[in-house]
A and B are shown apart, each in its own frame.
Chain A
């Protein structure tokens, strides 16, 4: 398997802007790390079920009852910008 990682592309997927310096450093470090984790490629995993969770609980249900929710003011208090009871955001629709 190739160890070349397109760090710029992955950063775009992650919605994370990286400086040129970070890209270069991560490129090298991540290729080393990925080469290391490829160790798991040597095992024969035919018929092995994946472990998805720390314990194998499935379908934990609760009664569907209405309970009071928390006061929205407490959550809006941490908003970077707000407009009354709304989160205020920069314009996201591009001009036509």
Chain B
């Protein structure tokens, strides 16, 4: 088997037919990490001994009659999702040396299905960023061009999957952090609808926006992994108590008769010409395959970034208040007062982008400004949601670019925060409106950089976006 290319579905088939064991498969993934990660820096930590132990247990379980799509398949996990006994640093000095005391619900589900936890992937610190340059520990490189970023914040997961160091991975998406790195690295990344997947045990950035989702080599793999992650969790009261559909069955619906909306506010000047050409080509291919293309309008798109950076930073400032040096995480040496214990521990533990967002979030929530910023932003969020609800009356899914550019050079955009924030324009609205979205590769630039197509669906419309993305993959798959 070639772990740099094998899909989860192929791995499961190989394990089922005994072409190889989970120990062999896991060892091959560990070897690939050993060979390549010195260059890519996709992983923050690798648990080789633990992974081989889990693989051995999966092989034993299979011999005793167990089966399943994930039994014995290694999966990489973004370093803010708790896996009991493994580190969970959130790529922050604040949590250097932290060991997870329990499994996140998504980890427990993967564990129960027999998946193998091979390692922890790099990310922007506390998921705040779009390039993974915000990691306190290392700079992950794009496997298609080592001088470029992998995107972010789930950049380590995307680089590992696309760069041959992981068969599949988990990411999280608060404003595009699964879809944008998937686009930059040329893999598939799915952000589920808010409430589809449990957030229990996932370090919170912005609680009303965060979702965990699959990052994989194919759309079918994304369906398989989502199937394992999705569902109601009594430990996350925001999860929907409704049956999870069969996502793999949804793939085969075909493009014929599918109504694809093109929101005119997403097809604007300013997007890279080559990116737009790839997106157009994918849409044309869908039309040729029998899909119906309709123009739709989302008039409040221009306000989405403003709303996002108010809501997300406000929630972040509250969520990150727990890092105070008392019960876990970094504590400053010999503080002279309790105020200094908090203020210095946080000053030493957090990096620049996290501090910037905490300050912005604290400001927009502070007395005298709350109504003007946070209060208004929540109302504009309602308008953004209504736009989508209206538009989805005319179409089943929407197709848009994922990001205005392909992967940029390391160091290129990181000193202008507002410019970085504006790069999230096409992905942020789905989080604000609670929708689902997927990034599927739809071509490459002349320089060989991958370009992703974003397929958006209504809340709990994962079946529809998987069907459309699978169709795109068949028509224009690289």
* Cβ A41 vs Cβ B372 within 8 A: yes
- Looking at B323-331, B405-413, B466-474, the stretch in contact with chain A turns out to be B323-331
Does B343 sit at the interface, judged by CB under 8 A?
Answer: yes
Q: Which residues of B contact A41 (CB under 8 A)?
A: 372, 376
* Cβ A90 vs Cβ B335 within 8 A: yes
A59 to B458, CA, bound (A): 23
Closest approach, in angstroms, between the C-beta of B265 and any C-beta of chain A?
A: 14
Q: State which residues 356-390 of B face A: CB under 8 Å.
A: 356, 358-360, 362-364, 366, 372-373, 375-383, 385
Q: Which residues of B contact A33 (CB under 8 A)?
A: 309, 360, 417-418, 421
With contact pairs A33-B421, A80-B325 given, residues A18 and B355 touching in the complex (Cβ less than 8 Å):
yes
B383, closest chain A residue (CB): A48
Q: Which residues of A contact B347 (CB under 8 A)?
A: 16-19
* Cβ B359 vs Cβ A37 within 8 A: no
* Cβ A57 vs Cβ B238 within 8 A: yes
* Cβ B356 vs Cβ A51 within 8 A: no
* Cβ B355 vs Cβ A16 within 8 A: yes
* Cβ A70 vs Cβ B101 within 8 A: yes
* Cβ B208 vs Cβ A7 within 8 A: no
* Cβ A29 vs Cβ B383 within 8 A: no
* Cβ B238 vs Cβ A43 within 8 A: no
Does B107 sit at the interface, judged by CB under 8 A?
Answer: no
Cβ-neighbour of B317 out of A14, A22, A48 (below 8 A): A14
Q: State which residues 9-25 of A face B: CB under 8 Å.
A: 10-19, 22
Does B102 sit at the interface, judged by CB under 8 A?
Answer: yes
* Cβ B346 vs Cβ A17 within 8 A: yes
With contact pairs A40-B376, A75-B327 given, residues A55 and B234 touching in the complex (Cβ less than 8 Å):
no
A70 to B108, CA, bound (A): 15
Cβ-neighbour of A29 out of B98, B234, B417 (below 8 A): B417
Interface of B is mostly: helix
Q: Which residues of B contact A66 (CB under 8 A)?
A: none
Q: Which residues of B contact A32 (CB under 8 A)?
A: 418
Closest approach, in angstroms, between the C-beta of A70 and any C-beta of chain B?
A: 6
Closest approach, in angstroms, between the C-beta of B129 and any C-beta of chain A?
A: 14
A39 to B303, CA, bound (A): 7
Q: Which residues of A contact B321 (CB under 8 A)?
A: 15
Does B338 sit at the interface, judged by CB under 8 A?
Answer: yes
Residues of A within 8 A of B (CB): 1, 5, 7, 10-19, 22, 26, 29-30, 32-34, 36-41, 43, 45, 48-55, 57, 60, 62, 70, 74-75, 77-81, 87, 89-90, 92, 94
Residues of B within 8 A of A (CB): 98-99, 101-102, 193-195, 208-209, 211, 234, 237-238, 240-241, 300, 302-303, 305-307, 309-310, 317, 321, 324-331, 334-335, 337-344, 346-347, 350, 352, 355-356, 358-360, 362-364, 366, 372-373, 375-383, 385, 417-418, 421, 431-432, 434, 459
Q: Can you sample 26 A-B contacts with CB below 8 Å?
A: A5-B363, A16-B359, A18-B355, A26-B359, A34-B360, A36-B306, A36-B418, A37-B364, A39-B303, A40-B376, A43-B383, A45-B379, A50-B381, A53-B434, A54-B193, A54-B208, A54-B209, A55-B194, A57-B237, A70-B102, A78-B99, A80-B325, A81-B331, A87-B327, A89-B338, A92-B338
**Known contacts A7-B359, A12-B343, A48-B379; 8 further A-B pairs (Cβ under 8 A):** A16-B343, A43-B300, A50-B379, A50-B382, A77-B99, A89-B326, A89-B338, A90-B334
Q: Rank and list the top 7 A-B pairs by shortest CB-CB distance, nearest first.
A: A54-B194, A50-B378, A80-B331, A17-B347, A54-B434, A74-B101, A15-B342
